Amino acid sequence: MGMTITEKILAAHAGKKEVKPGELIWAKLDIVLGNDITAPIAISEFKNAGAKKVFDKDRVCLIPDHFTPNKDIKSAEQAKVLREFAREQKLKNYFEVGKMGVEHALLPEQGIVTAGDAIIGADSHTCTYGALGAFSTGVGSTDLAAAMISGKTWLKVPEAMKFVFKGKLSKWVTGKDLILHVIGDIGVDGALYRSMEFCGDTIENLSMEGRLSMCNMAIEAGGKNGIIAPDKITKEFLKGRSERKPVFFASDKDAKYVDVREYNAAKIEPTVSFPHLPSNARPLSKVGNVKIDQVVVGSCTNGRIEDMRLAAKIIKGKKVHSTVRMLVIPATQAVFMQMFKEGLTEIFVNAGAAVSTPTCGPCLGGHMGILAAGERAVATTNRNFVGRMGDPKSEVYLASPAIAAASAVTGKISGPEELH
């Protein structure tokens, strides 16, 4: 029996010829990641274990991005723990305010992660890097501590599901819409501890930004990881960027999947996930009249330059509705600078939006856009649980940058076509 791309990567990192679903393995890691919420606990456990040095100062990454720029004294202390540990350990990949970005946008951009890698991070959306053809998954802070010491992690080889998309995408439909459609189809636990493999001619023609968005939200269906086999788009993205030589894996034709689902991509509409689960997905044509108070364009899901270009294209020459607050948050400093160069920042500011330095802030209800009771937000983020972005009586509607920008103009959930 052949192996899936995920099984091949795990076998290579476990030093085995093959692995099978359900098998427990020790896997060597290429990159170990922590942020300002999860890493302080891991650092404490690292020291409690008597460890003196991380396994490799070039392979441990610390990025304070959730409550930074520091929201309050407690968040400042959290960030200080990372800063001091990074200096003590002489970590190569430590990114502070002014240099940092939202972690899952920054690492691919900087070439720190690459195809064929095995990566863990103490953040559930670490599954993002599967878009590069890597195995990446989120872990807890104690697992992060152990990995910082040993450079290894233990895990169970996941079963695999395959999602095949065929056909050309309709106008305004993005990778975000595809993954919301999938989660709406299978539910928030439909891929529980399974590898979610995305393929088909639709995916082959999808941009790297779209692929990163899809793999980012694999966890919202319970997935252990999301992954897309490397192709010419992957190789072009990694060219001149990847710090290490990429290794390209692909699933065997006789690889085993517990479920294979096929979708006619041409029939998928722009999609919106209603409160309070990502699986509560509806096509735009069935959304109805939903008035909103806030729009957020950004996050590790949709804060890349393609996302900013799309939102700016729609809002150019228009104004944010008088009853709406629009926040635009580029995911990295490089995206921020590119926005300036292309005139996107000016478009957003002229429209009446607030443009922020990179931060995860509003996505997790940390800062920079907290909702009051009864308020509704359209966000390009990845979660809309009760109280996710503020008061438990507030509501978050997940959507693409196209829907978010159009909604900011109309004051209600809308598609770009409604602006003409």
Kindly report, residue by residue over 358-408, the tens digit of the pLDDT: 998 888 888 899 999 999 999 999 999 889 989 899 999 999 999 999 999
- Give the domains, in start order, of the chain with CATH numbers: 5-263 (3.30.499.10), 273-415 (3.30.499.10)
| Percent of residues, the chain, with pLDDT higher than 70 | 100
Long-range contacts of 350-354 (CB under 8 A, 24+ apart): 351/315, 351/316, 351/318, 351/319, 351/320, 351/326, 351/408, 351/409, 352/319, 352/320, 352/326, 353/315, 353/320, 353/326, 353/327, 353/328, 353/408, 354/325, 354/326, 354/327, 354/328
Cis peptide bond prior to 362, omega within 30° of 0? no
Q: What pTM, to 2 d.p., does this model score?
A: 0.94
What distance in Å separates the CA atoms of residue 322 and residue 317, rounded to the nearest whole number?
A: 15
| Percent of residues, the chain, with pLDDT higher than 90 | 92
Q: For residue 1, what pLDDT is reported?
A: 77
* Averaged pLDDT for residues 36-55: 95
Average pLDDT taken over every residue of the chain: 95
Residue 312 has pLDDT above 90, yes or no: yes
Q: For residue 21, what pLDDT is reported?
A: 96
Q: For residue 311, what pLDDT is reported?
A: 97
Q: 274-310 burial by CB neighbour count: b if 16+ within 10 A, else e?
A: bbebbbbbbbbeebeeeebbbbbbbbbbbbbbbbbbb
